[in-house]
Amino acid sequence: MKIGILCTDGVRPELVKIYGDYPSMFECLLHASNVSKTSLFFKTYETHKGEFPESIHDEDAFLITGSKLSVYDKVDWINSLEKFIGKLFASNKKIVGICFGHQIIAQSLGGKVEKSRNGWQIGVRTAHSVATPSEEQNNLGQFNLIYSHQDEVKSAPEAAEISASTETCQNVMMKIGNNVLTFQGHPEFSVEYALELLKLREDLYDDNHLEKARKSLKSLSADDEKVGRLIVDFLLQ
């Protein structure tokens, strides 16, 4: 299977040498989660620099990464990405979205994204399944992921099924039919990388919030492989 990674941001230069870039993080996650050992081939498109596939048929499926920007920012490449997502969805292409990717897919298909009333959500958070019976095969039950966001999907597209929520975010996993699967959390992040991000962005958070996030990263295990397996299974089904 050929998977196109639509990269919507870059890792800080001082961290790339240690943790790799975002596409390599996803490649590691999905290869490690590929129990069936089906061949997965990846190609990165630097979408945040205006690079897109020439055709939606260049790849079998697409994955949209996280970004420091908001999906409602008036930026040319974000507008182009929304149009590209619309074409993918209309052609029943498989689409996976993570964080910003989760939000831009929702917005592109009729949902609404805005700043969370709960502010920044950082560290490891526990999500609980709210899946409907039709989603039983994609039900993760309770699962932990690393989060780093202040925007959220306030209202999902009409056709979407909300699959999981946390105490502070009602939509952290979304599915639309058999071709869209998205997560607000970051299964591709390692604990070490998340801690480095907190250090670099600590001016954005109040001290109490920051300390809770650090403690959660050191005391709670993220279910990266569990989520990774679900993503791979979704892509291959």
Choose the catalytic residue: 48, 102, 149, 186.
186
Token pair 């996993």 is found at 173
Residue 225 bears catalytic tag = no
What does R_g of the chain's alpha carbons equal in angstroms? 16
Token pair 């959500």 is found at 121
Q: Is 175 exposed, middle or buried (0-12, 13-18, 19+ CB in 10 A)?
A: buried
Choose the catalytic residue: 27, 59, 152, 188.
188
Phi, psi of 97 (to 5 degrees): -130, 140
Residue 186 bears catalytic tag = yes
In order, the DSSP letters of 39-66 are --EEEEE-GGGT---SSGGGSSEEEE--
Residue 99 bears catalytic tag = yes
Choose the catalytic residue: 7, 59, 99, 149.
99
Q: How far apart are CA 231 and CA 120, in angstroms?
A: 26
What is the set of active-site residues? 99, 186, 188
